[in-house]
Structure 1
Amino acid sequence: MRLQLIGIGRTKAGAERELTARYLERAGQAGRAIGFPSVELREIEESRARRGDERKAQEGKAIRALLQPASLIVAFDEHGRSIDSEGFADCLGQARDSGKAMMHFLIGGADGLEPALTESAAFVFAFGKMTWPHQLVRIMAAEQIYRAMTILGHHPYHRA
């Protein structure tokens, strides 16, 4: 199963970009042996529309253009449910075992995701009840994807 992290906004050079890249590279390396041949990041330009609902609609259209047919969608949204790392790893393992070819992880921009995207997602997860900048959510999602690969691969990175 291929994994694709889709985020609104381009991460500028620096620590945020480096951390995201590091975790996704590690996830790709760890995932190959356990049925996840690739992990990639796709960044979408932020909408310049004046109103939040217009921005979400434009960004949602751009996200939908990247979604593969019959793929599994996971949305990260502040109104999603919290899940622990083992549960997240189980989610990825079950998705892989379902035979789907692609899993997309969606991170909205400053206004969040278009409601139609969260409604169509198989899973909607939150990183707790706090609101996080979407650039930090990208890092946390990349780290959790890597952590899930290590849990599924019985690597000692995750210590519960």
Structure 2
Amino acid sequence: MRVLVLAVGRMKKGAEAELADRYLKRAVQAGRAIGIRSIEIVEIRESRAADADRRKLEEAIAIANVIPDGALVVLLDERGEGFSSAAFADQLGRWRDGGQAVTAFVIGGADGLSETLRDKARITLNFGQATWPHQLVRIMLLEQLYRAITIMSGHPYHRD
């Protein structure tokens, strides 16, 4: 399975980028052994439109243009469903085992995600009820992907 992280906005150089890179490298390396072929990050340019609805629409179009046909779409949004790390690993494993070729995780910009993207999503996840900056959401997603891969690999999980 191929995993895409589609994120509106750029990760600027610094501690956040270094942490994101660290989790990405770990997840990619560990994932190969369990059928996670690749994990790729695609940065989507933030819209400069004056109106929030227009910004969300322009970002949604840019995101939709890079989602491969047949990809399972997962949105990250504070209104989504919370998963424990073990449940997230179980879900990721079911998608992989079910033959899902591509899973695309979508992180919106400052204005959130358009309804058109919500209609394409199989599931909407959250990392709590708080609103997080997209850079931190990216780091948290990469950490959870890495953690899920280690759980799927049979490494002991300290919460069991």
Q: Secondary structure at the match of 1:140?
A: helix
Partner of 2:158 in structure 1? 159
Q: Which residue of 2 aligns with 1:43?
A: 43
User: 1:28 is matched by which residue type in structure 2?
Assistant: V
Structure 2 gaps, min length 5: none
**One-letter amino acid matched to 2:16:** E
Letter in 1 for 2:92: L
- Residue 56 of structure 1 and its aligned partner are, at CA, apart by 0.6
Count of residue pairs the alignment pairs up: 159
Distance in 2 (alpha carbons) for counterparts of 1:20 and 1:108: 17
Partner of 2:85: 85
Shift of 1:81: 0.9
Provide the rounded CA distance (Å) in 1 between the counterparts of 2:136 and 2:115. Answer: 21
Percent of aligned pairs with the same residue? 52
Q: Write the deviation string for residues 24-52 of structure 1: whole angstroms up to 9, x where unpaired.
A: 11111111010101111111110000111
Deviation string 1:57-87 (CA, Å, 9 cap, x unpaired) is: 0000110111011111111011101111111
Quote the offset at 1:118 in angstroms: 1.9
| Structure-1 residue corresponding to 2:64 | 64
| Letter paired with 2:158 | R
Structure 2 counterpart of 1:105:
105
1:155 is displaced (CA, Å) by 2.1
Q: Distance in 1 between matches of 2:15 and 2:59?
A: 25
Residue 127 of structure 2 corresponds to 127
User: What one-letter code is carried by the residue in structure 2 that aligns with 1:49?
Assistant: A
Query: Separation in 1 of the partners of 2:123 and 2:70?
Result: 15
TM-score, normalising length: structure 2: 0.96
Question: CA offsets, 1:128-157, max 9 Å, x none?
Answer: 11111111101001100111100100124x
Rounded Cα–Cα distance in structure 2 between residues aligned with 1:12 and 1:99: 35
Secondary structure in 2 aligned to 1:33? helix
So what's the TM-score if we normalise by structure 1?
0.96
Unaligned runs of 5+ in 1: none
